A and B are shown apart, each in its own frame.
Chain A
Amino acid sequence: MKARILLPALPLLLFAASLLTPWSGFLELWQQDRGLALAVLQELRLPRALLALTYGAMLGAAGAAIQALFANPLASPDLTGTTSGAALGAVVTAYLLGFASPLALSVGAVAGALGALLLLLLLAGPKAETATLLLAGLAISALAGALTTLALALAPSPFAFYDAYDWLMGSLVDRSLSQAAFAGVPALLTILLLLRLRAPLDALTLGEDVAQSFGHDVRRLRLEIVSLTAVGVGACVAICGAIGFIGLVAPIFARRLTGGHPGRAMLPAAALGGALLLAADLAVRAAPLGRTLPVGVVTALLGAPFFLWLVAHMRWRFEQ
């Protein structure tokens, strides 16, 4: 019951905090020039907060869906190669083909994500074992990473490398409201469409055969989740770069709130994902380093130890 109130409140509170931080500078500006303060709020802070909320929510929901589909808590958009495929698509579009508009980037990233996920299905087969799928995802991530580096090495502009490197680390800074819409609208639509698949994903707890005996078309479910994830995550990666670990961590905590049920964990995972990315972005601003860190670095620094703990925890459990 507490979770029901806290869960929607957490991302909303952090959203408000993101708009108002740093508070002292904003207060001063508000007293001196209200118009300018509103402009700062609308042009700088609002897109940043909106992107953190929707990108985080997208990663949480997609992670929950992919973990439910593969019946594995280690599956997530980063581990299946979706994020790196999207990054490759965007890098190729922007630095090799020279189209840098948000629309072109989004199309490139969605194409890259879809390509990665289709390659995943091709490698692992329509009725894949979890291990095969995860290994295939690992291979695709490695391939996409190598190709991204290659694309950057071949890029015509010498500035491309630093520019792309900065973007690849994942950042929410200096995006416009229209850019936020390019990521946020597909993300929200995708989350809504994913939520429709709660019941079949919950049924997968009993295994694919039983889900089929209930009349769920598991093959179609797999394709739907793959394409929805590609569109939603691809659109976000195009605008903000690749941000890791939230798609892994948020669903794991969300399932604690749903008694382990994977499908109905999608909505709480979206709320937690949004809250986590907002919190990470606030941490970036609070970091006393005198310069802005890419938010992807913070999620990776916090997420990687959690991932290690998870791997160790699973190993202990299976060795009992």
Chain B
Amino acid sequence: MSTLLAASGLALPGRLSDTDLVMAEPALICLVGPNGSGKTSLLHALAGIGAPAGSVSIGGADRDAARPAERRRLLAYLPAAREAAWPVTVRDLVGLGLPADADPGEADAAIGSLQLEPLANRRVDRLSTGERSRALIARALAPKPRLLLLDEPVANLDPLWQLRLMDLLKATVADGQAVLIALHDLDLAARYADRLIVMDGRRIAADGDPRVIIGSDAIRAVFGIEKGEEGWRPA
């Protein structure tokens, strides 16, 4: 079987320096780093946003050779801004993530997994920010893409939904999807990640087992914080 994700030579001028990333098996990768360290840029480069340099192959398929309908099955990207430009309904919004010939049941399944059934026919501009976030996450999950790229997926969600979402992402990994998410919450990352990538200065500073990295000097060097008895504090 071909590698789930093989990216090499990824770069975005001024935002991301020459970066390689390989994922052999489905896993939940958490991407942490200070503001401006290149988390979003790495997600953009993988999703093909902003004409990045380098090549990305997902499950053996060349990302740039895939047409929009196939590409929705290869990868999904959730931007940090939780906005929809036009006031479509939640069901229609989720449908935008699917290829045109997809079974409507696929949208319903995603709506169900984020418990959006009561809001399915509501316009997205009439939802709370948290509800709209869930609708946009459902849009990304709906096509069951091989690679999920989510920027700050737990932002705007209440504590219960943050945990529910992380569990949901774990379940998608168990179904064979690769998940890469940018996070600010190091504890959440440590608890859920199969693999942790620390970004600093527009490149990968550390990459590996979260239990090892969280306790290492890398966090102190990159973030300027350390773990004390009462949690994180400035170093």
Interface residue B93 (Cβ < 8 Å from any Cβ of A): yes
Please, which residues of chain B bring their CB within 8 A of the CB of A207? 79, 81, 83, 85
A186 to chain B, nearest CB (A): 28
Interface flags, B69-103, vs A, CB<8A=1, else 0: 00110011111010111111100110011001000
Interface residue B139 (Cβ < 8 Å from any Cβ of A): yes
Interface residue A159 (Cβ < 8 Å from any Cβ of B): no
B13 to chain A, nearest CB (A): 14
B85 touches A71 (CB 8 A): yes
Please, which residues of chain B bring their CB within 8 A of the CB of A270? none
B92 touches A260 (CB 8 A): yes
Please, which residues of chain A bring their CB within 8 A of the CB of B66? 215
B86 touches A213 (CB 8 A): no
From known contacts A207-B85, A255-B86, infer whether A212 and B96 are also in contact, taking CB-CB under 8 Å: no
Interface residue B60 (Cβ < 8 Å from any Cβ of A): no
Interface residue B44 (Cβ < 8 Å from any Cβ of A): yes
B92 touches A261 (CB 8 A): yes
A205 touches B96 (CB 8 A): yes
A266 to chain B, nearest CB (A): 13
- Complex alpha-carbon distance, A199 and B87, angstroms: 17
B77 touches A210 (CB 8 A): yes
Of all chain B residues, the one with the shortest Cβ separation from A217 is: B51
Interface flags, A39-67, vs B, CB<8A=1, else 0: 00000000000000000000000000000
Interface residue A1 (Cβ < 8 Å from any Cβ of B): no
Give the interface size bracket for A toward B: 20 to 34
Please, which residues of chain A bring their CB within 8 A of the CB of B47? 209, 212-213
- Complex alpha-carbon distance, A250 and B196, angstroms: 51
Give the interface size bracket for B toward A: 20 to 34
A313 to chain B, nearest CB (A): 13
A157 to chain B, nearest CB (A): 48
Interface residue B48 (Cβ < 8 Å from any Cβ of A): yes
Partner of B50, one of A212, A216, A259: A212
CB neighbors of B among A199-245 (8 A)? 199-200, 202-207, 209-210, 212-216
A206 touches B96 (CB 8 A): yes
- Complex alpha-carbon distance, A204 and B96, angstroms: 10
Interface residue B224 (Cβ < 8 Å from any Cβ of A): no
Please, which residues of chain A bring their CB within 8 A of the CB of B44? 209
Interface residue A274 (Cβ < 8 Å from any Cβ of B): no
Partner of A259, one of B64, B79, B89: B89
A13 to chain B, nearest CB (A): 30
From known contacts A207-B79, A260-B123, A261-B92, infer whether A212 and B85 are also in contact, taking CB-CB under 8 Å: no
B141 to chain A, nearest CB (A): 14
Partner of A209, one of B49, B84, B100: B49
- Complex alpha-carbon distance, A260 and B91, angstroms: 12
Interface residue B233 (Cβ < 8 Å from any Cβ of A): no
B89 touches A205 (CB 8 A): no
Interface residue B68 (Cβ < 8 Å from any Cβ of A): yes
Interface residue B67 (Cβ < 8 Å from any Cβ of A): yes
A205 touches B84 (CB 8 A): yes
Please, which residues of chain B bring their CB within 8 A of the CB of A108? none
A125 to chain B, nearest CB (A): 14
CB neighbors of B among A252-283 (8 A)? 255, 259-262
Please, which residues of chain B bring their CB within 8 A of the CB of A204? 85
From known contacts A260-B88, A260-B123, infer whether A213 and B77 are also in contact, taking CB-CB under 8 Å: yes
Partner of A261, one of B64, B76, B88: B88
B139 touches A260 (CB 8 A): no
B71 touches A215 (CB 8 A): yes
A215 touches B67 (CB 8 A): yes
B63 to chain A, nearest CB (A): 8
From known contacts A202-B96, A260-B92, A261-B86, infer whether A215 and B139 are also in contact, taking CB-CB under 8 Å: no
A215 touches B68 (CB 8 A): yes
- Complex alpha-carbon distance, A206 and B49, angstroms: 14
A214 touches B72 (CB 8 A): yes
B159 to chain A, nearest CB (A): 27
Chain A interface residues (CB < 8 Å from chain B) = 71, 199-200, 202-207, 209-210, 212-216, 255, 259-262
Q: 14 pairs across A/B with beta carbons < 8 Å?
A: A71-B86, A202-B96, A205-B96, A206-B93, A206-B96, A206-B136, A213-B49, A213-B71, A213-B149, A214-B68, A215-B66, A259-B89, A259-B92, A262-B86
Chain B interface residues (CB < 8 Å from chain A) = 44, 47-50, 64, 66-68, 71-72, 75-79, 81, 83-89, 92-93, 96-97, 100, 123, 136, 139, 149
